Amino acid sequence: MSNTSNKIQHFHIDQKIKSEILEKISLFKNKKIMIIGDVGVDEYIMGAVKRISPEAPVPVLEVTEEDKRLGLASNVAQNVASLGGEAILISVIGADSGAETLKHLLQKSKVSSEFLITDVTRPTTRKTRIMTGHHHLVRVDHEIRKNLSAETEQKIISQIEKNISVADCVIIEDYAKGIFSLSLVEKIVQICKREKKYLMVDPHQTKFAEFYKGVDLIKPNYNEALALTNIQEDDIENPSERVWAVGRQLQKMTGASDVVLTQGKDGMAIFTKDEQVVQVPTFAKKVFDVTGAGDTVIAALALGVSSGLPLAQACVLANYAAGIVVAKVGCVPCEIQELKIEIGTL
């Protein structure tokens, strides 16, 4: 592995590349991206703490503001919509107030809720963060992390089968809330191969890499990649060789033709079938909150690849989009106009 650094190519971004990316952005409006995964609502209750409760030694929050936002795979869907595409969001919700909130937020974001499946035995995932200033006092989670029933899983497969023909790209968005069994992933892979649809996965680090065997592209961050491959970081002394080892091991274990390894301030490492690894820089100018940045990345990647961009250019596009959202607080989508300005069209 001593010659690893010679195989890492730093992607040069010039005006020609930017112009090609901007040209493809105009094609986003015709693209349909199917997103299959766990959905949820992020709730924020904010205020000031000025006293301790007389009933128990706990702080009393005087509420000044409340906010509700789309989270998990529904944030991927709203990013697809805000970038001009059409999201086909397939997931499972409960029969509860959380489901109604989710549907309302989706409607506001121009994402259809018609492909969501209701399961009365499961609550809609909600994460309520109670905060004072930037400090979290407590988080309250409403969710069940267990596998779907065979009946509900079959309903997901039926929705995929009904809509796969119109999808330009498919995303598995795994937040380990129980949507994905190994058999469901295998079925999605089979359907996508049969229909010749490019299949991406945003994996969860609690799974093993082979869980996603057969996908075309896998997009973990560096720490997730270490967990998925069970590679011990300390066993490889040279940092560039660590990235090389984990990316190639992910390819081997999943059979994916493409690996996009996100590395925060170090950008992305792109692995394809050939020996070359391409490094794409980050474009973030300010980083206030990385929440949801990965969702923005995979949404932009899917739209970019579907619109005909080579993978390296699609990753440049995705890094520009991520740079926009990390400069904001909370889980917010990247707007297409912001993206055009950032790349340099206006």
State phi, psi for 152 to the nearest 5 degrees.
-70, -40
* Alpha carbons 336 and 333: distance in angstroms, whole number: 10
Catalytic member of 38, 168, 174, 295: 295
- Give the three-class secondary structure for 22: helix
Secondary-structure percent of the chain, ordered helix, strand, coil, rounded to 5: 40, 25, 35
* Alpha carbons 322 and 301: distance in angstroms, whole number: 11
295 a catalytic residue = yes
* Alpha carbons 225 and 126: distance in angstroms, whole number: 27
DSSP symbols for 84-101? T-EEEEEEEE-SSHHHHH
* Alpha carbons 160 and 304: distance in angstroms, whole number: 22
Q: Are strands 268-271 and 258-262 parallel, antiparallel or unpaired?
A: antiparallel
* Alpha carbons 96 and 105: distance in angstroms, whole number: 15
Annotated active-site positions, please?
295
